Amino acid sequence: MANKEPDLELGRKKLDWARQHMPIHARLRELYGEKKPFQGLTVAVCSHLEAKTGVLIETLAAAGAHVVFTGSEPMSTQDDVVAALNEQPNITGHAKRGLSDEEFEEIQLKVLEHEPDLIIDDAAELTARMYAKRPELAEKVIGTCEQTTTGVHRLEAMQKQGILKFPAYAVNDTPMKHLFDNVHGTGESSISNFMVVTNLLVAGKRIVVAGFGYCGRGLARKLRSLGAKVIVTEVDPRKALQAHMEGFEVMSMEKAAPLGDFFLTATGNRDVIRKEHFEKMKDGAVLANSGHFNVEISLNDLRELAASEREVRPGVTEYTLADGRRIHVIAEGRLVNLTAPTSMGHPVEVMDQTFAMQFMAALHLLEHRGELEPKVYPVPDEVDRRVAEIKLETLGIEIDSLRESQRRYLEAWKYEDIKF
């Protein structure tokens, strides 16, 4: 654990900058700051702890909650932001950058000791920890709101095994989240961090993107617009076809391995790049991951093949193989946009939307307390629409609304009704 004192003033400035660019949260504080719907409740927030998450935490506290928070990834926590949050009323944080796996678990358990009523989670880290270590606490929980693709999969697995004891809203699956956060947020922040960490040119490079889901498609499209020649790998034939029809080269990782200058994984799966691929890569290949866990690039395989490893620049490890080829991995294969030394996560405005969805989903769970089964639910469409409306208001964009005749037309099926 690093012992350097956090720079409190810098943490305050980071929060201030984020607040200025999160107008939906400003609106939520106006709407709920007086009503205080979360009054008397403890809300646990487990997420990447930097300024945008800080603004969500502040907004929940403004709406009456006692907020306890912790990190969802040991390397993405910014200690200065944690310090600037911890000085505020009704906010208690347990988080620190660079914790070992044991310390990370310990600190999450501390958050659970506050016996949360609601959970706002990332990759179901806190929820999974609760069921694994303190299952008795689940009785009291009204529900959880889940932000990531990986977390929704984990919650569905818990539901299948009959472990889930409270309802979960799949916030990740809402249009207001995944169409913006996964596509644009992951795309812009992963590429910008890749460029800053390596200081290498993207234009003209052959870049292999593994996975053409929401994140992968954002990465592939944005890399192409920067002048890269993008190759896509997939396991889903429909996604592969979609990538093909968008003009990307599609092939297996086996074929792509010797061609790529850079590799970016975004699959939510494990061992996507492994021994047989490293064996074929070019000297100097650079690899990074945008998926939630650090298992997409098999570092175990790479270490087995490597004769030596060293840090060549902050955040970049160089593995030299027995035949002299060098393979570079950013941030030990952890989320490149959140855990590399210069990482700041998604752009602020995107997280304004994502966290507004988390806030509104938590509020909806609270308002419908006791009505929902212990299952994973889609967030009701009206919640998604409401956040979209607030976002448009903050942008000053007006849109048309359906006339009564149009509404009836869209709901009609009989010829005479369609022709009325």
| Helices 348-367 and 51-62, axial angle in degrees (round to 10) | 30
Residues 62-81 that bind ligand NAI (CB under 6 A): none
When binding is defined by CB under 6 A, the residue of 174, 186, 198, 343 that contacts ligand NAI is 186
| Alpha helix stretches (DSSP H) within 275-341 | 275-278, 299-305, 336-339
Binding-site size, ligand NAI (CB under 6 A): 30
CB of 209 to ligand NAI, least distance (A): 9
Minimum distance from CB of 338 to ligand NAI (Å)?
A: 6
Look at residues 125, 92, 120, 123 and name the one whose alpha carbon lies nearest to residue 108.
Answer: 125
Q: Which stretch binds ligand NAI (CB under 6 A): 23-31, 101-109, 229-237, 404-412?
A: 229-237
- Please, which residue, 70 or 294, has the CB nearer to ligand NAI? 294
- CA dihedral sign, ordered 55, 56, 60, 66: negative
Q: How far is the CB of 175 from ligand NAI (least distance, A)?
A: 13
| Structure-block tokens of residue 390 | 């607030």
Binding mask 327-366 for ligand NAI (x = CB under 6 A): --------x-xx----------------------------
| Euclidean distance between CA atoms 263 and 253, whole angstroms | 10
Identify the burial level of 293 via C-beta atoms within 10 angstroms of its C-beta, where 0-12 means exposed, 13-18 middle and 19 or more buried: middle
Least Cα distance to 143 among 310, 375, 347, 324 occurs for 375
242 binding ligand NAI? (CB under 6 A): no
- Which residues in the 162-181 window bind ligand NAI by CB under 6 A? 178, 181
Burial of 351 (C-beta count, 10 Å sphere; 0-12/13-18/19+): buried
Window contacting ligand NAI (CB under 6 A); options: 6-14, 51-59, 204-212, 363-371: 204-212
How, if at all, do strands 143-146 and 118-121 pair? parallel
* CA–CA gap between residue 68 and residue 213 (Å, rounded): 32
Given 72, 77, 233, 358, the residue binding ligand NAI (CB under 6 A): 233
Of 109 and 157, which CB lies nearer to ligand NAI in the complex structure?
Answer: 157
Is the Cα dihedral 50, 51, 57, 60 positive or negative?
negative
DSSP summary character for residue 126 = H
In whole angstroms, the minimum distance from the beta carbon of 151 to ligand NAI comes to 7
Q: Return d(Cα 194, Cα 226) in angstroms, integer.
A: 13
CB of 127 to ligand NAI, least distance (A): 14
Q: Kindly indicate which of the ranges 16-24, 58-66, 284-292, 367-375 contains the residues binding ligand NAI, using the contact rule CB under 6 A.
A: 284-292
Calpha distance 358→144 (Å, rounded):
9
Which C-beta is closer to ligand NAI: that of 170 or that of 335? 335
| Residue number with the smallest Cβ distance to ligand NAI | 213
**Structure-block tokens of residue 137:** 């606490």
In terms of CB distance, is 170 or 272 closer to ligand NAI?
Answer: 272
Strand order in the sheet with 66-71: 91-93, 66-71, 42-47, 118-121, 143-146, 168-170, 376-377
- Part in contact with ligand NAI (CB under 6 A); list of ranges 85-93, 143-151, 323-331, 394-402: 143-151
Say whether 297 sits in a helix, a strand or coil.
strand
Which of residues 6 and 216 has its CB atom nearest to ligand NAI in the complex?
Answer: 216
Residues 208-227 that bind ligand NAI (CB under 6 A): 210-216
Q: Which positions touch ligand NAI (CB under 6 A)?
A: 148-150, 178, 181-182, 186, 210-216, 233-236, 239, 266-269, 272, 290-292, 335, 337-338
